[in-house]
């Protein structure tokens, strides 16, 4: 029997890069993005994300997001914002060997020309302070047109240094 | 077309002090999904988790955790710890037959140069519905080969299935 989670695209970094793009969303199925061992080149930098349309990362101020921040050494906190230029991870990664981010993102309605693109995120990292933390929440790009992928980049022009990013289709 | 989520291994136990899935993490995958069903405990108890390396269950003070407990009848609460001997409270057993379930993602267990990371989501019946949303990290750069679950007291009954996300 054929499986229902089908790989669409993947990128594994072998050197520093300004951004990673995964495209190939072209059906009304839900999709899933995984990230493992994602690291940044500059200390205390986040990973930011945008949706792509026709392969191009959308830099408009149309991103809303809301997360619960789970922190191993402090009180949990809320992250929320509207009309932003990107979806912000708020992970403050460092440059230590294991100061990395790992995540699962589910993407919904991306292929719709009349609905917003939505996603949920669960993420776990060790930050620049060598403490474990994570995020649980969701985001949307408030433009009613089809999106075909996602783009990741480091905060404030920091390069991404490591990681394997993979896009899967959850086939109906 | 073959799917990218592949079954790796399962384990089950009835009224045991702990349950392990050994040799389930390998270089074949970087991300694993661990599902637990039919979870019951002999008495009301937290469900804790440890990883397994080549020397056995890792019980050193090398775990960090952060878990949000979502109560259906009262305010939510937080579990947060650094440098502890397990990831504690990923779920709960009510000491009855009504059950609980857990879904986990484990990242990079086989990479000897990386820590091992997990995310956790579960729900349980404790007389009321309790949900759990959390993260944990075993902060030793080493190869992890398996996973171990145990109750904070009493015995546990559960079924564990491990799947790997294939990347080609």
- Residue from the list B68, B114, B136 with its beta carbon closest to the beta carbon of A37: B114
Between CA A66 and CA A79 the distance in angstroms is: 6
> Is B111 touching A (CB cutoff 8 A)?
yes
Question: Which residues 6-65 of B have a C-beta within 8 angstroms of A?
Answer: 6, 30-31, 64-65
pTM: 0.96
User: Which of A74, A102, A105 to substitute to test the interface with B, most B CBs within 10 Å?
Assistant: A102
| Contact assignment for B64 to A102 by CB distance below 8 Å | no
**Could you tell me how far CA A46 lies from the centroid of its own chain?**
11
Give pLDDT, residue A1.
54
- Residue from the list A98, A166, A168 with its beta carbon closest to the beta carbon of B114: A98
Please write the tens of the pLDDT for every residue from B128-163: 999 999 999 999 999 999 999 999 999 999 999 999
> Is B115 touching A (CB cutoff 8 A)?
yes
How buried is A24 (Cβ within 10 angstroms: 0-12 exposed, 13-18 middle, 19+ buried)? middle
Between CA B1 and CA A153 the distance in angstroms is: 32
Strands (E), chain A: 5-12, 19-23, 30-40, 47-53, 56-57, 63-71, 77-84, 87-88, 101-108, 117-126, 132-141, 149-154, 160-170
Q: Would you say B111 and A163 are in contact if contact means Cβ atoms under 8 Å apart?
A: no
> What secondary structure letter does DSSP report for B141?
-
Give pLDDT, residue A91.
84
Q: Would you say B64 and B77 are in contact if contact means Cβ atoms under 8 Å apart?
A: no
Give pLDDT, residue A89.
79
Quickly count: other Cβ atoms within 10 Å of residue A51's Cβ. Answer: 28
Give pLDDT, residue A3.
66
This model of the complex carries an ipTM of 0.94
Please write the tens of the pLDDT for every residue from B37-95: 989 999 999 999 999 999 999 999 999 999 999 999 999 999 999 999 999 989 999 88
Structure tokens at A20: 């990673």
> Is B1 touching A (CB cutoff 8 A)?
yes
Please write the tens of the pLDDT for every residue from A98-146: 999 999 999 999 999 999 999 999 999 999 999 999 999 999 999 999 9
Q: In chain A, which residues have pLDDT < 50?
A: none
| Contact assignment for A97 to B82 by CB distance below 8 Å | no
Q: What average pLDDT does chain B have?
A: 95
Give pLDDT, residue B53.
97
CA atoms within 13 A on the CB side of B97: 0
Closest chain B CA to residue A68: B68
Give pLDDT, residue A90.
77
Q: Would you say A102 and A135 are in contact if contact means Cβ atoms under 8 Å apart?
A: no
How buried is A12 (Cβ within 10 angstroms: 0-12 exposed, 13-18 middle, 19+ buried)? middle
Q: Would you say A35 and A125 are in contact if contact means Cβ atoms under 8 Å apart?
A: no
A155 φ, ψ (degrees, to nearest 5): -65, 145
> Is B117 touching A (CB cutoff 8 A)?
yes
**Could you tell me how far CA B61 lies from the centroid of its own chain?**
17
Give pLDDT, residue B1.
59
Please write the tens of the pLDDT for every residue from B116-130: 999 999 999 988 999
For residue B2, is pLDDT > 80? no
Between CA B132 and CA B47 the distance in angstroms is: 11
The SS3 of residue A157 is helix
* B49 sits in which H/E element: strand B44-53
**Could you tell me how far CA B140 lies from the centroid of its own chain?**
17
């Amino acid at each position: 029997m054929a499986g229902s989670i089908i790989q669409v695209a993947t990128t594994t970094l072998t050197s520093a890069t300004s951004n990673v793009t995964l495209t190939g969303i072209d059906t009304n199925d839900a999709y899933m993005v995984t990230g493992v061992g994602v690291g940044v080149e500059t200390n205390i930098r986040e990973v930011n994300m945008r949706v792509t349309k026709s392969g191009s990362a959308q830099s408009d101020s149309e991103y809303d997001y809301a997360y619960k921040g789970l922190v191993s050494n402090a009180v949990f906190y809320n992250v929320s914002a509207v009309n932003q230029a990107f979806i912000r991870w708020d992970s403050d990664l460092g440059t230590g060997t294991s100061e990395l981010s790992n995540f699962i993102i589910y993407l919904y309605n991306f292929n719709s020309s009349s609905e917003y693109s939505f996603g949920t995120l669960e993420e776990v990292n060790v930050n620049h302070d060598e403490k474990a933390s994570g995020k649980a929440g969701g985001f949307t790009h408030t433009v009613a047109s089809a999106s075909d992928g996602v783009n990741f980049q480091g905060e404030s022009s920091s390069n991404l240094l490591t990681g394997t990013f993979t896009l899967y289709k959850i086939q109906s | 077309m073959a799917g990218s989520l592949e079954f790796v291994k399962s384990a089950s136990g009835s009224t045991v002090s702990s349950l392990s899935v050994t040799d389930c993490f390998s270089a074949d995958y970087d991300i694993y999904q661990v599902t637990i069903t039919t979870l019951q405990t002999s008495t009301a108890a937290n469900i804790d988790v440890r990883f397994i390396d080549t020397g056995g269950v890792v019980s050193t003070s090398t775990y960090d955790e952060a878990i949000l407990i979502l109560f259906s009848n009262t305010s939510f609460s937080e579990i947060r710890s650094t440098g502890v001997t397990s990831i504690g409270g990923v779920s709960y057993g009510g000491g009855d037959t009504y059950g609980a379930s857990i879904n986990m993602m484990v990242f990079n267990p086989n990479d000897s140069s990386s820590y091992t990371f997990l995310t956790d989501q579960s729900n349980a019946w404790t007389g009321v519905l309790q949900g759990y949303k959390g993260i944990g990290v075993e902060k030793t750069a080493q190869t992890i080969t398996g996973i171990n679950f145990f109750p904070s007291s009493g015995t546990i009954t559960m079924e564990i299935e491990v799947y790997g996300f294939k990347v080609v």
